[in-house]
Structure 1
Amino acid sequence: MNTQLFQNINKTVSLSKEEFEQFYSYTQTIKLKRKEFLLSEGDTCKHSYFVSKGCLRYFYSIEGNEHTGQFFFENNWYTDLESFLTGKPSRQNIEALEPTQIITISKDSLEKLYMLNPKFERFGRLMAERAFIGIKQRTEMLTNQSAEERYINLIRERPKVIERIPQHYIASYIGIQPQSLSRIRKKLGNY
């Protein structure tokens, strides 16, 4: 049994060990090297991913420039929800920023599990709701906060990003150029 995944799921829905084993039997584990892509723009996202070790970044490539959407560390779930639900090609690129281990479960497997046990369906619904809230919060952050406020909030709310992510990706994530981030960091000093 994968204790890390079991504990993560049980924060959302309470599963017995037997129910978890049933869920886990539908999963696969994959390893990615640093800079290896999990999904590329144009691929269809057919899996949901649980990061058991490492870090993923999703980004969009627009006119040759990368725009980071989010970072996912240990104990985080990720899927390109739009592609996953509609079957349309993804516009996202997902790469490992560190050596990363992921537990995957396919959409087809999730659908089977939803039919077998309402707890699995509840888990899927709650995860989709969390994804929606995360997207809404990110949109509001980019719309309503200055670059300095976005950086300060990132320091407060997501210290792993500051500790583990290169500065040029952080700049992209908060929607500014790396030079602007350098100026903000210099202005804030040891904040």
Structure 2
Amino acid sequence: ERYFTIRRTDLWNIDQHISLSRYHHHFFSAEAIHHRDDRLIAHWTTYEARLFGLPLITETAENIFNRRNIYKITLVAASPEIDNLCTEVNNHLPCGYYAVVTGENYIDIQRSDVNKGCIIEQLIHHLNISSDQVVAIGDQQNDVSMFAAAGISIAMGNAPDAVKRQAGYVTATNEEEGIVHALEWLRCLTHPVTMRQRLTAAKDNESN
């Protein structure tokens, strides 16, 4: 299970529990996005295929459910519905799986032992570093586990309030180049001399 794939029997089980056909959804493997041929393709699905540079393959539900390489199921919906839909899905998923909001129009269903925090912990162990040397920046519910694993956690300004409350710091929004602001702050944080130089330059400008 190199990519933390969902077992074939569990794909069928998830479908039985939440009746996947009621929702617009697609499936991720490492090589492609898979879409059922008995459902219309939502524009959010087409967008994700372009975003990740993955081919969009249409095939029967049976073929998809019998695959060995599906690692997540993504439900798509209009943004006003997304939080309630996520709660509804979580209430009906079989044991060992969870749903989390990953974007304005997206919910991912994955194994309970698969999240960004687990991956960061594995990297920390592999690189033999401490969590204090790790910075996590995110803007969605699926980033919260990453915040818990990192020494410094930064939420984007456009993140939901619930996500911001889980972060140690909040930067500007995506449109306001929040990543750039966060990286600049981190650079100054790790290089006090740079910070002093910037402060000195600012004072000199004020004097002039």
TM-score, length of structure 2 as denominator length:
0.25
Decide which structure has the larger Cα Rg and report it. 2
TM-score, length of structure 1 as denominator length:
0.26
